[in-house]
Structures are given as structure tokens and as C-alpha cells.
Structure 1
Amino acid sequence: MKVLVTGSNGFLGKAVVRTLGARPDMRVLATARQPSDRTARLDITEDAAIQADILRGVDGVVHCAAGGADVVIDGTRKLLEACQMAGVRRVVLISSISVYGGAAGCVSEATPRIKGTRSNYAGWKAMAEEASEGFPGVEIVILRPTIIYGPDSPLWVTGLERRILGGYWGEFGALGDGSCNLVHVDDVAGAVEAALVVRSAAGHVFNVNGPDCVSWNSWFQKMADLVGYGPLRHITPPVLYGRVLVALPFKALRKLLRSDRFAWVSGAPALSELALFRRKVFYPTDKAKAILNWSAHMTLADGLATIGHSRAGSGRT
């Protein structure tokens, strides 16, 4: 089976390439918009006919590429058009639990998806899912991972550690007591593998969640412990919301100037993050167990150990 992976230079893409490449029955073509020595060039925002030439002879595609609306929405649509032209049999589309919006409690795949818009990340992912419904002849499997972590996770490990080391992050009390549904990147790669090879998975959507759910405050402290920061101080709601509001214009200015100035603003969470950090929610994976025969195996303790081992191997503390 020949499998092409988009976004293979990224955090999840690398893990998928590693997992699929370990199978003797799979030939993996790793691609990226900006290729490296180990990847071929594929820009999914280019014309579908150009992409189709690269996709000929490919049996399955794993779509891990990330970016702005041009990649997530338009690029996904063009990639699927190219797959249809090239006769690709199956596509595994990496979506997100963000398509459930603010749903709380037990959120299964039967929970309605939000309406797709171009206004934010959740809307982009919803639009990408909507686009995937218009390609007869291509078997599409949608995976909705929760909070993906692991060594060098740019958002929820290294990015969070930078915020902590900046001195402005902390323990948020009730505003950080929501559910942090964690899944290790290797378990997500395992779900991708199952989604490619299980025949009955075609046309289905699956939650991909790990075995452990902690509070966000707990996760913040675990990241602080990894870098030897010590106990995080409590930040009261008035101070936290005050930082959020003060940081807004400086964040906009940094984005406009493409500058690293005002680094302190990274210590102020976005309003969307605060909504995430206080939401009590769980994403069951019964459907993935029943159809894909998949379940996450990496416990939180073992997952944290992989981060520690990676740091030791690279000489970082």
C-alpha cells in the first residue's frame, strides 16, 4: 500500500510517517509545502491537477497539513479534488474536537458539528469536514483528536513551557479547572494507521482521545515541573481577565509587524483559551474501539516520560 502524508514536517505528520513507515506492507511518501531532505514537495493550495500528478499510484492519503484558512479549507478541498482525479482510494482527514464548539459533558461523534465559517480555527475545520462530503468515489475517514501532546508538541508542551518560563502564567483556579483531554501523538498515529487499513471505517468520523483526563491547572503544573519551575502561583480572575484585555492590542501589533516584541503578551491567554480551560467535557472513543479496534495505550505517566526521555537525549533540561 502506497500512502502519501501531507504536512509530514509537522509534529503529528512526523509521528504518522514514523508509525506507517514501520509497516513492511506500506510505502510512505512524506510531503510538505516546504520540503526537507526527507520530504517531497506538495503544496495543497496549488491547482488540483498539479497535485493529481503527484498522487497517481497512491492508495491512501493522510492529511496532516496545518496552516491558515487557505490550507485548512481551500487546500483540503483542492487535495480531495486531486485525490478524486488520481484515483486515490482512501483519505484520512485529521480534523479536531474544536468542531464541537462549546459542547460540554459527554461529547460523542453524534454531537452536532458547528457551522463552518472562515472566522476562526474551529470554523475552518468544520468547513474542511463539510468539503469532504462532496467527493464520491473517495473513501474518507475523519479523525477528531483531542489535545495532542508528546515530545516537542509546539502548542501544549514547548509553547506552554515558554509561557510558564515567562513568569506570567499560573494556576487559574475555577477558570482552569475544566477538562484537559490528552492524547499522545503516538496514539493518534496509531489511530491513523487503523483508519487506513480497516475497510469498514470508510465514511465514519471518530473521536481520538487518551486514557487520562486531568484538569488544565494540573496540566499546567505538570509542564512547570518538567522545566523545574516550581509551584505555579494562583492568578485571580480579575488579574487574569485584566491581562487578557491589556494584551489584545499588543498581540494585534505583534501580528501586524510580524515582530517578537512584547513577548510578555504570550503569558495572557486568549478568551477562546479561557473558554477551553474552564469547560467540563469528555470525548468517548467507543466508536473507534468498535470499528477501528483502536484504543489509546499511552498513559499520562508514560506520555510524560517520553517527553523527559526526549529532553535527556537532546541534552535539554
Structure 2
Amino acid sequence: MKTILVTGGTGFVGRTLIPLLVARGYAVRLAVRQPSEVFPDAVVVGEVSPDTDWRAALSGVDAVIHMAARVHVMTETETDPLSAFREVNRDGTLALARAARDAGISRLVFLSSVKAAAERSGDLPLAEDMLAHPETPYGQSKREAEEGLLSLSGISSVILRPPLVYGPGVKGNFRTLMQVIRKGIPLPLGSVHNRRSLVYVGNLAAAVLAAVEQPDIPSGIYHVCDGLALSTTELLGRVADAMGCKARIFRFSPWLLEQVARLARRHDLWEKVCGNLEVDDTLFRQRTGWKPPFSVEEGLALTTEWFEAFAEGRTE
């Protein structure tokens, strides 16, 4: 039985990935920041940083899945956010990769982000060989981690760049979207014809598994998505259908929406809602044979089913 070390395994993606790995017959070792009653066998490594001692966690391990990260937040408290992101996402990642290499481990799967490439895609989907233009401290730190991993010899680094991840337990903008639809709040988005890629958490977990199991995949960056880019208007309609209700959407000039967002100093929010962010994951599919096991309809149905239970207090 092969042993896989997983960092960030207690998070949103990890809650889906860990059962999948166990079902495939892997022994999973979790690395956590502090002792946990829920995961008593996990190895406590503290915060991910350049000084983290990984020796105990890496002993006897065959592969590493690194998902732990400092994530972007709505309200940043650090006076120097980029340095804080770099310490965890770049320097901490590279320290783990070097420790894994020195321990004789041949495969590292790193969960990066589309934000390492760009915040928008223009008229064409983002491909892995396009010049990266990260615009946030989070995206910059992830991009620098990618560059560091690809320059590191002696270990195969498979880097996955997912777009927006949704699924049971989702937080952030996607949960807010479901709350708005459930409350029947009118939205002026009927004239938005953008294209945005998403990935269901079960599909992303399956992609991580494929990255672990495909022996011939070369080190590199790979985009992963559901394969169907949707406009914000289409997404609202599909989510509402999955919830068994109707989205209250009316037409309003996207240009005027953008001007309002600029005046309110929330152009970033306008970009997230109305801009294009589409990725091309052809390369990963070709090199691994991976196909999303869940359709968009199935993913949204499972997500909204969880959300209804969450909204009614029947689950966390």
C-alpha cells in the first residue's frame, strides 16, 4: 500500500479528496497545523513556512499532495500582504518540495490557482503556455511557487491550476450567490454574456488523483475545469434550476454596471461577476486521460442539495 502525505487535507477540497484516496487503497497521512481530535493520527507540523520540519511527516511516504496555503481574504490585515503570502505559498511550498526530494519522494502534486495566471482571460481561454499576469499578492505568490517548483530538479512537480471551485461546503462568492437566489433578490445581470470556467470539487479531487497516479505525466502546469464555460447569467439560471426555483434576473447595461462598480471602488467585484475567466484544460486531459466524473448539472445538484440542508440547519 502506497502512502500519500496530504497538506491542507482538512479543508474544502481535502474533505472530498481524502475519502477518494482511501477508496483507491492509499494510506493517507495528514499534515496539520495543530493537534486534532477529529484526526488523531495526523502529523502536527505547525504553520507552513520555510522553517517547517517535514521529516516525520515525510518518513515512508511515496507521494505528496500539497494543498495548504495562505488564501486570499476580503479584508486583509497584514501591512505587507505579499510577504505574508510568499512566506507560506512560495517559500513554504519550496521547502516542502526540497524536503520531499531529499527524502527520496518522486512525485509532488501542487494545488495552485488560476489566479497565478491571470484575473481575466479576454477573448481566448487561458492556456498554460500563455504569459502569466497575476494581479494579487495571492496570485503572485502562487506563480512564484510554480516557477520555483519547475526549476527544482530531482522531483516531479505536477501543478494544477483550478478556476472557481464549487461543491458541498463551498464558501465565498458561490455560497453568496446561492443565498441571493434563495432569497429571490433581483439581479441586474440579464445582459452579461461573459464566459467563466468552474470546477466541481469532485472533479478536482479526481484530477488530483490522476496527477498522482499517471506515471508518465511530466512536470508542468496544468489547467483543470469542468469543461463547460458559463456566463454569469447562465450560471444563475442553472443554480436556480438545481434549487427548484427561478432566478430573478433583469437586463441592465453591463457598461453602466461597470461604471457603478468603479464609482463604488469595487471594480474587482465587477470583474469577478461580469468578466471572462475561461481556461483550456486540454493538456491535462491529453496527458492523463482524465475526464470529469461529474457533469456541471450533477455538480450543481449536489452543491445546492447541500446548501438547502445547510440553510435549514441540517448540516454544516
TM-score (norm 2): 0.79
Equivalent pair of 1:89/1:139 in contact (CA under 8 Å)? yes
Q: Which residue of 1 aligns with 2:139?
A: 122
Amino acid paired to 2:60: G
Distance 1:244 1:34 in 2: 42
Is 2:69 the counterpart of 1:66? yes
Closer/same/farther in 2, CA of residues 123 and 18 from structure 1, 3 Å limit: same
Q: Which residue of 1 aligns with 2:130?
A: 111
State the Cα deviation string for residues 219-247 of structure 1 (Å, max 9, x = none).
2344456395841455655466546644x
Closer/same/farther in 2, CA of residues 120 and 236 from structure 1, 3 Å limit: farther
Amino acid paired to 1:172: L
CA displacement at 1:158 relative to structure 2 = 2.0
Identical aligned residues as a percent:
25
Instruction: Give the secondary-structure state (helix, strand or coil) at the position aligned to 1:298.
Output: coil
Closer/same/farther in 2, CA of residues 33 and 235 from structure 1, 3 Å limit: farther
CA displacement at 1:200 relative to structure 2 = 1.2
Closer/same/farther in 2, CA of residues 120 and 178 from structure 1, 3 Å limit: farther
Closer/same/farther in 2, CA of residues 198 and 296 from structure 1, 3 Å limit: same
Equivalent pair of 1:56/1:88 in contact (CA under 8 Å)? no
Q: Which residue of 2 aligns with 1:30?
A: 30
Closer/same/farther in 2, CA of residues 203 and 241 from structure 1, 3 Å limit: same
Q: Which residue of 2 aligns with 1:87?
A: 104
Is 2:296 the counterpart of 1:300? yes
Q: Select 2:223's aligned residue among 171, 183, 207.
A: 207
In the TM superposition, 1:19-58 aligns within 5 A as: 19-24=20-25, 26-36=26-36, 37-38=38-39, 39-48=42-51, 50-58=53-61
Q: Select 1:216's aligned residue among 232, 238, 257.
A: 232
Distance 1:172 1:201 in 2: 41
CA root-mean-square deviation? 3.0
CA displacement at 1:204 relative to structure 2 = 2.5
Distance 1:177 1:297 in 2: 27
State the Cα deviation string for residues 98-140 of structure 1 (Å, max 9, x = none).
22213331322222223x68x5222122111112123211110
Amino acid paired to 2:274: R
Equivalent pair of 2:16/2:201 in contact (CA under 8 Å)? yes
Greater share of helix residues, 1 or 2?
1
State the Cα deviation string for residues 18-64 of structure 1 (Å, max 9, x = none).
2111112x111123324532244233524546123321211111111
Closer/same/farther in 2, CA of residues 88 and 286 from structure 1, 3 Å limit: same
Equivalent pair of 2:261/2:267 in contact (CA under 8 Å)? no
Q: Which runs of 5+ in 1 are unaligned?
A: 249-269
Closer/same/farther in 2, CA of residues 166 and 31 from structure 1, 3 Å limit: farther
Amino acid paired to 1:92: V
TM-score (norm 1): 0.79
Distance 2:247 2:140 in 1: 37
Tell which deviates more after alignment, 129-138 or 6-15.
129-138
Is 2:288 the counterpart of 1:287? no
Amino acid paired to 2:201: V
Aligned residues: 291
Q: Select 1:97's aligned residue among 88, 95, 114.
A: 114
Distance 1:241 1:199 in 2: 50
Q: Select 1:184's aligned residue among 176, 200, 204.
A: 200
Closer/same/farther in 2, CA of residues 161 and 55 from structure 1, 3 Å limit: same
Q: Select 1:145's aligned residue among 162, 176, 181.
A: 162
Tell which deviates more after alignment, 104-113 or 145-154.
104-113
Q: Which residue of 2 aligns with 1:4?
A: 5
Closer/same/farther in 2, CA of residues 311 and 239 from structure 1, 3 Å limit: closer
Q: Which runs of 5+ in 2 are unaligned?
A: 72-84
State the Cα deviation string for residues 240-276 of structure 1 (Å, max 9, x = none).
6546644x5xxxxxxxxxxxxxxxxxxxxx4234224
Distance 2:59 2:308 in 1: 42
